[in-house]
């Protein structure tokens, strides 16, 4: 059955545990950063940062709000990037989970066309020209484990499971949140 993430931003505290867990599981290096006058760190997704907690400040009804969003590939049901690639050895959809997987063969494709096709600005090009992004922790999920970012989240903001169950859960949470914040 297709799997899905449900990210409940209302309970995300921006602890960045998911961001670090992703790097740990994938064995990806930390990035050199500088203080840009905000908590955003690193600045953006990259070839070695597949998960990023985005932080922004917004004025809503005369009050300043600090908003957090853990960003990663959405594993689209009909992925525009897969269509743009047109090469099943480079980008394919795992039948069992629905995960959209990039392989090293992406280096033989037009990387910019694939990057441009993603409505969420997710894929990133590496030094060898290949593309990288979140793979749904397919190695863990295929072995009955949760994705590393979900496993580590202490607040329940990151959730993962069968698509229908996640969708029902998201709708129930939305109804609850709307009662407090119509
Ligand atoms: Fe938010 Fe959970 Fe990630 Fe912490 S681990 S930043 S609470 S989604
Ligand atoms: Fe990283 Fe795995 Fe979470 Fe994707 S599912 S963001 S690869 S930890
Ligand atoms: Fe969808 Fe973009 Fe992820 Fe491709 S890279 S599956 S288009 S979110």
Beta-strand (E) ranges in 17-141? 52-60, 63-71, 91-93, 100-102, 124-125, 131-132
| Mean pLDDT (whole number) for 155-169 | 97
Q: What lines the ligand 3 site, CB under 6 Å?
A: 73-76, 79-81, 100, 118, 120, 122-123, 133
Q: What is the pLDDT of residues 64-119, one digit of tens each?
A: 999 999 999 999 999 999 999 998 899 999 999 999 999 999 999 999 999 999 99
Predicted local distance difference test score (pLDDT) of residue 181: 84
pTM across the whole model: 0.95
21-61 confidence digits (pLDDT tens): 999 999 999 999 899 888 999 999 999 999 999 999 999 88
Map residue 136 onto helix, strand or coil. Answer: coil
Give the closest ligand to the alpha carbon of residue 100. 3
Q: Mutation test of ligand 1: which of 13, 41, 154 has the most ligand atoms closer than 8 Å to its C-beta?
A: 13
Q: Give the 3-state DSSP-derived string for 83-146, with helices as H, strands as E and coil as C.
A: HHHCCCCCEEECCCCCCEEECHHHHHCCHHHHHHHCCCCCCEECCCCCEECCCCCHHHHCCCCC
pLDDT score of 178? 95
pLDDT tens sequence across 114-157: 999 999 999 999 999 999 999 999 999 999 999 999 999 999 99
């Amino acid at each position: 059955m297709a799997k899905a993430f449900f990210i409940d931003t209302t309970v995300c505290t921006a602890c960045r545990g998911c961001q670090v867990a992703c790097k740990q599981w994938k064995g990806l290096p930390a990035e050199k950063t500088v203080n840009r006058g905000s908590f955003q760190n690193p600045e953006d997704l990259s070839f070695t940062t597949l998960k990023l907690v985005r932080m922004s400040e917004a004025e809503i009804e005369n009050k300043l709000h600090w908003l957090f969003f853990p960003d990663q590939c959405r594993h689209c049901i009909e992925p525009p990037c897969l269509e743009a690639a047109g090469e099943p050895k480079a980008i394919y959809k795992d039948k069992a989970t629905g995960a959209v997987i990039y392989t090293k063969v992406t280096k033989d494709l037009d990387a910019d066309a694939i990057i441009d096709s993603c409505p969420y600005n997710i894929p990133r090009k590496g030094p060898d020209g290949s593309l990288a992004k979140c793979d749904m922790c397919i190695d863990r999920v295929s072995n009955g484990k949760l994705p590393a970012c979900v496993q580590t989240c202490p607040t329940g903001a990151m959730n993962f499971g069968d698509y229908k169950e996640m969708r029902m859960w998201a709708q129930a949470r939305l109804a609850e949140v709307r009662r407090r914040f119509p």
